[in-house]
Structures are given as structure tokens and as C-alpha cells.
Amino acid sequence: MPLRAGDRGGGGRPPGRLQHPDGRPAGGFPRRGRPGRQGDPPVRLARPARRLRPHRLRHRAGGLPPRRRTGRARRLAALVLPGGVPGPRRGPPADGGARVTAVPSLAGRTALVTGGGSGIGRAVVVTLASLGARVAVNHPPGAAPAPDGEELPDGCFAVPADVRDRRQVSALFETVGRRFDRLDILVNNAGVFPRAQVLDIDEAGWDLVLDTNLKGAFFCSQEAAAMMVPQRSGRIVNVASSAALTGSPKGAHYAASKAGLVGLGKSLARALGGYGITVNTVAPGVTRTAQPGLDEDGFLAEGRKVPLGRVARAQDVADTVAFLVGDAAGYLTGQTLGVNGGTVMVP
């Protein structure tokens, strides 16, 4: 039964005592959870709310005090690493891309990127240079070392050579050795992908693809190892393809060459690991670069097959290469990292 505050005319009780509506006294204030007099309803007294200091309330709400959070964000935003690269930031970037959690520094290191004039190779060159590395950009004789209207980044120089020719490869590394005195990073990116059905591939077409994609990478890896072994350090990254794992109905020669590149990387990793040299492979899926038979509609159609909803960008592959050649991947060797948005998932 509900209670109300009485007065002197309502049963003779002093002001402030609780009474029943019919005037009967409530029997004082019983202890919490126990009845007063027989027949009276139990009365529960609420515990006073605990008062929290303002900073505790903000913590309980799920965040740091605004003053401290703003100061931290200001300090991180002002951080700039060598090469003009901004430091780590909290929260997703404005363009909706991936969150930047750490930026490796390659200051003082030297790199050679084969096939660095366009596509994935160009993105790798720009990324490594932005992290402070000095980069030798290999490109086929007669081809431009950079896309039309663009220049090589600071600290880079172009070296033409056909990686299929052993003598040109030797001359390429002699030039790099004279310019840099050492070699810390090799990225085997040079490759070709002429689409053809199995019954339409002739011997010349087969040799072109295998010699460029696989034999060229072997020649370059041999020369790089000869420079890295005395240093007892180095990074070699091969750029393969998800076709190495899935096959390609219109590129049996291409898939075979990339599968060979995966095996070559594992073999080199075992042979060179004792000298502090790591060898890894990246295997991109369909990437938005110049590809035979794929226009904008084709890229959109391929993107709909990808769990992440789009095809790869050249920068996605370049970021993975930058990780593999940095200090954070120092204990990673003989591995193949798929940059494919989830189209190929291997245990």
C-alpha cells in the first residue's frame, strides 16, 4: 500500500513521519528488505547513487578525457618520418582507406626493382623511395623508365636491361654496385602476360613468358645473392600471381612461370637464410593495371567476385612489398602472401 507524509492532524504523528492513506502509522522506517509491523508492506530504502569524478565518468563512457585525446592526436599528426612520410594516425583516413598503424623506414638502404617503369613496379618504386630508400629502376631497353608525364622520384635512377639476357643482367648489377656500393633489396617484378588458350601457345610464346617471368628472376636473384652474402643481410621479394595457385585457362604458360617463381622463392629462402637474407613472394589477384582484355567494365565485373568487393590496386601490392623488405618482416622468409582480397584462401 502506498505511503504518504503525514501532519499533526493526521494521527498525531510529527511532521515528516510516513503514514498509510487511512491514517495508520507505518511503524517507523524498517530495515531494508524487512517488514515493519505485522500487516505493513515492506519498505526498501534505495542506496544513494555513488558520485563519480568527472574524469571517471568519461572513462566509463568509453574514451579518454577530451583534453588528453586531443593532445595525443595533435602530436601524432605533427609527426613526420624520413622522406616526408606522415607518421601513424588514429582512426580511419578521410578517404575510407586502410588505417595506418606503422610506417617502416628504409632510410640509407638501396633497392633494385625490375620492371619498375609501370604498373605494380612503378608503385613499388615510388613507395620504397618515399620511405627513404635509394632505388635503381630497371626497365626493358627502348621502354620508358616512368609513365608518360611522370619523373623518377628523388634518389632513383634508371638502368635499362633485358632480364632474359644473362650478360645484360650482369651489367645491370655492376652498374648498381658502382652507384650504391651495396644492395639491400631486390624486387623481381619484371613479367609479361600474353593471354592465349592452351592449344594456341607455341614454343616461342612459351619461351618468352618463362624466360622473362622465371629465368630472369633467377638470374637477378643469383646476382643479388652474390652482393648480399658478404653483407650477411638482404631482402628479396618475388612478384608472382594468384594464378600460381589456381591456374589460368587463358595463360597456362603464365601460371606455370608464376608457380615456378613461388618454388624458386622457397628454395632461395632455404639456401640464403643462414646469411641473414630473407626471400618471400607476393601473389596478387586481378590488379587494376594495364591488362590485356580487361577494360573498366571488366575490372568492375572481376571486383564483384572478390569478397572485399574490388580488384587490387597497385598500391596494395606495393604496401605488402614495403612490409616484406622492412625490419618488421625480419623473421619472415619462404612465405607467399596473397594480395587478392580473399579470392584465394589457403591454410
Position 223: which residue type? Answer: E
Q: What are residue 278's DSSP bridge partners?
A: 235
The grid coordinates listed for 30 are 524498517
Other C-beta atoms closer than 10 Å to the C-beta of 240 total 30
Among residues 212, 254, 268, 320, the one annotated as catalytic is 254
* SS3 call for 237: strand
Q: What is the 3-state secondary structure (H, E, C) of 42-61?
A: CCCCCCCCCCCCHHHHHHHC
Which of 118, 229, 224, 126 lies closest to 180 in space, CA to CA?
A: 224
* SS3 call for 305: coil
- Is residue 331 part of the annotated active site? The answer reads no
Which of 152, 95, 93, 98 lies closest to 312 in space, CA to CA?
A: 98
Per-position DSSP letters for 108-134, written without gaps between them:
T-EEEETTTTSHHHHHHHHHHHHTT-E
In whole angstroms, what separates CA 95 from the centre of its chain? 16
Other C-beta atoms closer than 10 Å to the C-beta of 153 total 18
Catalytic positions are: 254
